Chains A and B, each alone.
Chain A
Amino acid sequence: GAVVSQHPSRVICKSGTSVKIECRSLDFQATTMFWYRQFPKQSLMLMATSNEGSKATYEQGVEKDKFLINHASLTLSTLTVTSAHPEDSSFYICSFKGDPTEAFFGQGTRLTVV
């Protein structure tokens, strides 16, 4: 299957600072990417759909000014958590849309805001 590289795998930041998470496809190009968020022992919830060259589409209840998504190329999408607060601490994971029978996930980023 396709390889998706997500960095960093873990990050600890101070409250009020911003954190950028990168998701890169290593062996294919993707026009669409999805960002999910997962709290401990809970399900993955879709945050936004990122389309190359256009604005991301955010799910209801997700603050677009807080979670900035940039999909500037067919192989890279970034999620920036701006002015992070402890309640933003979570597991963030990206996924590229593959063929109909697959979805390729990054390794995930565990964010802790202190």
Chain B
Amino acid sequence: AQKITQTQPGMFVQEKEAVTLDCTYDTSDPSYGLFWYKQPSSGEMIFLIYQGSYDEQNATEGRYSLNFQKARKSANLVISASQLGDSAMYFCAMREGRGTSYGKLTFGQGTILTVHP
């Protein structure tokens, strides 16, 4: 079963507008972490934001915020005031539990965001 689902293969947004990238997840572990990464064409993985399963507040980092709805198992990324440099592939990822496999990330399919001037 898919653990992380990103249903938007591509998204378009006008410069300076806000955009929401969807992410839903599936886990039975009460302890998990959710990440969003940006991957430009160079391939590097740029960390954007983190939300822990026990965090009560939605995470925010500058123009990035995570809309965490635990009961719905969704962790959407909101980018405010889009910039041309935001055009890239965006991945949602999950880290589960503890133990020897702790630390590995399971990634969603990714969403290609294109910002238009």
Interface residues of A (CB under 8 A from B): 1, 32, 34, 38, 41-46, 49, 51, 57, 91, 93, 95, 97, 100-103, 105, 107-108, 110
Q: A43 near B104 (CB under 8 angstroms)?
A: no
Distance A43 CA – B4 CA, assembled complex (angstroms): 11
| B residues with CB within 8 A of A | 33, 35, 42-45, 47, 50, 52, 89, 91, 95, 100-110, 112
Q: How far, in Å, is B25 (CB) from chain A's closest CB?
A: 14
Name, among B33, B35, B105, B108, the residue most crowded by chain A CB atoms within 10 Å (CB to CB): B105
CA distance A95 to B91 in the complex (A): 15
By a CB distance below 8 angstroms, the chain A residues around B50 are 101-102
Asked if A34 meets B33 with Cβ closer than 8 Å, knowing A42-B109, A91-B43, A93-B43, the reply is no
